[in-house]
Each structure stands twice: as C-alpha cells, then as structure tokens.
Amino acid sequence: MKAIIQDTYGQPDVLALTDVATPKITDDEVLIRIRAAAIHPGDLLLMRGRPLAMPPMFGLRRPKRTTPGYDIAGIVEAVGGNVVDVRPGDEVFGQGDGTCAEYTSAAWDTVAPKPARLTFEQAAAVPMSGLTALHALRDVAKVRPGQRILINGASGGIGIFAVQIGKTLDAHVTGVCSTRNVELVRRLGADEVIDYTRQDFTRTGQRYDLILDNVANHPLSQLRHALAAGGTLIPNNGTSGGRWLGPLPRMIQAVVVSPFVSQRMRLFVSQPSRADLMALTELIDSGDIEPVIDRTFPLSETEEAFAYLAAGHARGKVVVIP
C-alpha cells in the first residue's frame, strides 16, 4: 500500500510517499481502507519532534510512529476475532494508527458507523476535534443551559465544534476569531462574535462561566480577568510555548494556581470511544453540528497539506484523500 513515511523529525519535507506493507490486525482491531484522513496541530508536533521534551516519549532520534495521522473515515476490510458490532463492508469513522495512508488498523471500539449525511471527507474531519470539544464542554466544564461560554479560536478545528456543541447545551456562546472568519462563526450559531484584531475579549468587562482557550495568546492572568467567580478555564492549546518545554509551563501554572483561586483551571486528555463518536453522530444526523473543511489534498501532496496547516490560518479541518 501507499503511505506517508517520516524517518526523521523536521519540517513537512521529511514526509515522503512510500510503498509499505498493509497493517496486520490483532483480535481487537479492524483493518480499514481509508477514504479520507484529517490532520491537526498535534500531528505537527510529532512531525517536528518539538518541544524537545517530547521525543523521549515518541522516539529519541527518530519517530517510533513513522506514519502521521489519527482521524479517519473509510470502509472496513477485515475484523479481528474479538471484534463485535463491526463487519467488513461497514462505512466507519474514528481514529486509527497512522492514517496518512491507504489502509490503517484501529481498535474496534475507537470507530463507529459513519454519519449517513456526511461524505467520507466530512466524516474524517469530525473525530479528534469533535470529541475534544464534546469532552471539554459536556464532561469537564459540565456546561448548563444559560451559561455564558467563550471559545477562543472559534474557527479552528476544535473551535467550530465547540461553538456548535455549546449551542446544543443551550449556552450563550461567544466566539473569538479573525475578521475573515466572523461570518463563519456566526453561521455556526455563535450568539456573539469578537474579532480579535479589533477587540481584546479580556478587556471588555464581560465575564464568562467557561473559557475554552484553543489559542494561548493571552497569559492565564488575563484570561482569569474575563472569567466569572466559580467559572472554568480550560487551557486547550498544546502547540504553544518555547522550543524546550512547549505548553508544559502554562499547563503547570494552571494546575498550581487553580487550588488557590475561586475559579477552576482544568486540564484533560480526550480519549476516543465508540459511545462518544455515536453521540456526535446523533448531533450530526439531527443537524445540530456540521464539520467545516478548509482544504483537501491528495495523499501524494501530504507535505503540502502539513505546510498549509503549519501556516496557522486553517479554518476548520485539513483533509488528506488517498
């Protein structure tokens, strides 16, 4: 099969299209013929091997995981002996292992039936970003009807889902984005949209019950000024920070400060599950949420796809098509 292989850390030019063996599956996995795969900022970190504190976990001199990508939509080709509720021929979406390729293996409980109303490209744009937004708002912040929530980075991969999920939870949603994305965020259902090139939301005097910060362009102290007493701040940007430690100092600061203030600062790791993918499917099928795709690239142009994502101005998701 064709797959993107990365033999060293670096910029997008380290990615090369290569012939490799089709993955073998275990008893708890499924083999998926990939029809579309989405990439996200976390893939950039693994490509670059930065911050430098990361390579010991993912490969000291070269990446242990040589094919990038997690999010997929495709067709099941084979299933392991312990797999239930998934059969060959099923159209599925979810997360796999090295998805910038023609085939991938995936744990059977990290995929679910593809939403019928979505194309494969649209479905691939959902899993990681949709699940992160769902877990942040529903499970971590426990958003309640009538609460005022602010999504910083509302036009990015996670932000577009957070705006829409916030509305399904009957919250008053404010989205923060650049000028060119104001109409998009408004169309997605935001009650208010702040253009960060014209207004600093930390200086408006408005207080929010939740701030989901996907950008990390304000110090935590400034974000707290915009947070109501008893409110929740979720610092959710994993790509900011310096060359050595990246976002770790900011995360540590949030953990250390949180017990001593009236506001909660919460970190979390979003884990894929079949049940939550199906919860997203219900919202998609009801028309409550929709994915947004900025650009699609063929598998042979994955280098260009990563370069486009690295430029930092993608609205919604970037998708690769084998």
Q: What is the pLDDT of residues 224-245, one digit of tens each?
A: 999 999 999 999 875 555 555 5
Domain co-membership, 20 together with 56: yes
Kindly state the average pLDDT of the residues 163-169: 98
How far, in Å, CA of 72 to CA of 38, rounded? 7
Q: Any idea which residue has 């598998």 for tokens?
A: 299
Contact call for residues 59 and 45 (beta carbons, < 8 A):
no
Domain co-membership, 45 together with 173: no
- DSSP-assigned letters across all residues of 39-71: E-HHHHHHHHT-STTSHHHH-SSS-SS-S---E
Q: What is the pLDDT of residue 165?
A: 98
Domain co-membership, 135 together with 237: yes
Q: What is the pLDDT of residues 266-320, one digit of tens each?
A: 888 899 999 999 999 999 999 999 999 999 999 999 999 999 999 988 899 999 9
Q: What is the pLDDT of residues 60-82, one digit of tens each?
A: 677 888 999 999 999 999 999 99
Q: What is the pLDDT of residue 62?
A: 79
* 280, part of any domain: no
Residue type (1 letter), 313: H
pLDDT level of residue 27 (50, 70, 90 thresholds): very high
Number of domains in the chain: 2
Residue type (1 letter), 220: L
Domain co-membership, 228 together with 100: no
Domain co-membership, 84 together with 145: no
Q: Which two tokens stand for residue 146?
A: 């009538």
Q: What is the pLDDT of residue 287?
A: 96
* 227, part of any domain: yes
Contact call for residues 258 and 264 (beta carbons, < 8 A):
yes
Domain co-membership, 116 together with 142: no
Strand locations in 64-171, DSSP E? 71-79, 91-95, 103-107, 111-113, 148-152
Degrees, nearest 5: CA angle 272-285-135: 30
Residues, the chain: 322
* 278, part of any domain: no
Provide the β-strand partners of residue 21.
none
Domain co-membership, 122 together with 134: no
Domain housing 162: 129-265
Domain co-membership, 112 together with 156: no
How far, in Å, CA of 61 to CA of 131, rounded? 31
Degrees, nearest 5: CA angle 261-266-269: 165
Domain co-membership, 225 together with 114: no
Ranking 124-138, 192-206, 217-231 by mean pLDDT, the lowest is 217-231
Ranking 131-135, 186-190, 238-242 by mean pLDDT, the lowest is 238-242
pLDDT level of residue 127 (50, 70, 90 thresholds): very high
Q: Which two tokens stand for residue 218?
A: 């304000």
Mean pLDDT for all residues in the chain: 91
* 271, part of any domain: no
How far, in Å, CA of 317 to CA of 308, rounded? 11
In the chain, count H helices and then E strands: 10, 15
Q: What is the pLDDT of residues 112-125, one digit of tens each?
A: 999 999 999 999 99
Q: What is the pLDDT of residue 56?
A: 60
pLDDT level of residue 249 (50, 70, 90 thresholds): low
Q: What is the pLDDT of residue 243?
A: 58
Q: What is the pLDDT of residue 188?
A: 97
Domain co-membership, 96 together with 200: no
Q: Which two tokens stand for residue 69?
A: 């990508």
Q: What is the pLDDT of residue 248?
A: 61
Contact call for residues 34 and 102 (beta carbons, < 8 A):
yes
* 275, part of any domain: no
Domain co-membership, 138 together with 67: no
How far, in Å, CA of 128 to CA of 316, rounded? 12
Q: What is the pLDDT of residue 242?
A: 54
* 279, part of any domain: no
How far, in Å, CA of 241 to CA of 251, rounded? 10
Q: Is the pLDDT of residue 88 over 60?
A: yes
Q: Is the pLDDT of residue 321 over 60?
A: yes
For the chain, what percent of residues have pLDDT higher than 90? 76
Question: The CATH number of the domain where 117 resides is what?
Answer: 3.90.180.10
Contact call for residues 37 and 115 (beta carbons, < 8 A):
no
How far, in Å, CA of 315 to CA of 275, rounded? 27
pLDDT level of residue 264 (50, 70, 90 thresholds): confident
Q: What is the pLDDT of residue 61?
A: 74
Domain co-membership, 69 together with 19: yes
* 298, part of any domain: yes
Q: Which helix (H) or strand (E) holds 86?
A: none
Q: What is the pLDDT of residue 303?
A: 97
* 273, part of any domain: no
